[in-house]
Amino acid sequence: MKWSEYTWTQVEHCYQAILEMPFITELSAGTLPVETFKFYMAQDSLYLEHFGRALSLVGAKAYDIQDVLAFIRFAEGAIVVENALHETYFKDFGLTDRGTMQPACHHYIHFLKSTAAFDAVEVGMAALLPCFWIYKKVGDHIFQNQETVNNPYKKWIQTYSNEDFGALVQQAINICDAAAERSTPEIRERMTQAFITSSHLEFDFWQGAYHNRKWNVF
């Protein structure tokens, strides 16, 4: 069994829980409160910027020159999506200031950056993989179940259900499988743990947005 196949079995429950989250079901139905979506978008803009930085760092650490190229391109893609968010969705929804990173985003990004910086490169790759894979699966699920008529979030839904994104996701999975194959059982286990942690943090990112979770104000 491939590393990715085994590892996915370890997050299947988390993934099923994500599909049932109010953020996801209301986004599909088009009933998610606009203020909730704006909070999510502002946090996601910050997320994508730093996700791009973490991808670049893993690219710099990769052994295989083709992996270096792939991660540099992923990093570029993340920044391009961030820019699109700014230029279109921010305008559409009347958002001007993305503000500062709130706890869920902060936790996730700092986990990604510290794993990318301090852990083995294979573990960094695995930590970054749920950002691709969960969004693709959730994007496809929402696309198939969405209320398309008058759904204000239609454009966002298309970003993650299109086939260009699908090809990148498959590439990222393949790179992780090849890296796992070349590594040791100990590293593979750390890869799996990092993948599980990031999957939980994906859940928490949506949950934090749904509940408007912010730092305490003193």
- Give the binding site for ligand TZE (CB under 6 A): 74, 77-78, 81, 131-132, 135, 168
Considering CB distances under 5 to 8 angstroms, the limit depending on partner class, which of ligand TZE, ligand HMH, none binds residue 58?
none
Could you say which of 42, 121, 125, 131 contacts ligand HMH (CB under 6 A)? Answer: 131
- Sort 131 into a burial class: Cβ within 10 Å, 0-12 / 13-18 / 19+: buried
Q: Residues 113, 50: contact at Cβ < 8 Å?
A: yes
Q: Residue 74 binds what, of ligand TZE, ligand HMH, none (CB under 5 to 8 Å, by partner type)?
A: ligand TZE
- Site for ligand HMH contains 44 (CB under 6 A): yes
Q: Please identify, using beta-carbon distances, which residue of 163 and 186 lies nearer to ligand TZE.
A: 163
- Kindly tell me the burial class for residue 58, based on how many C-beta atoms sit within 10 Å of its own C-beta (0-12, 13-18, 19 or more): buried
At 125 the three-state DSSP class reads helix
State which of residues 18, 24, 46, 48 lies at the interface with ligand HMH (CB under 6 A).
48
Q: Are the C-beta atoms of residues 24 and 18 closer than 8 Å to each other?
A: yes
- By beta-carbon proximity to ligand TZE, the closer residue of 43 and 217 is 43
Amino acid letter at 74?
A: F
What is the distance, to the nearest Å, from the Cα of residue 190 to the centroid of all Cα atoms in its chain? 19
Interface with ligand HMH, residue 47, by CB under 6 A? yes
CA distance 156 to 26: 14
Q: Rounded to whole angstroms, how far apart are CA atoms 181 and 2? A: 8
Give the total of residues touching ligand HMH (CB under 6 A): 7
In whole angstroms, what is the distance from residue 117 CA to residue 123 CA? Answer: 10
Decide if residue 104 touches ligand HMH (CB under 6 A).
no
Stretch that binds ligand HMH, among 19-27, 43-51, 68-76, 208-216 (CB under 6 A): 43-51
Q: Which residues in this chain contact ligand HMH in the complex, by CB under 6 A?
A: 44, 47-48, 131, 135, 202, 205
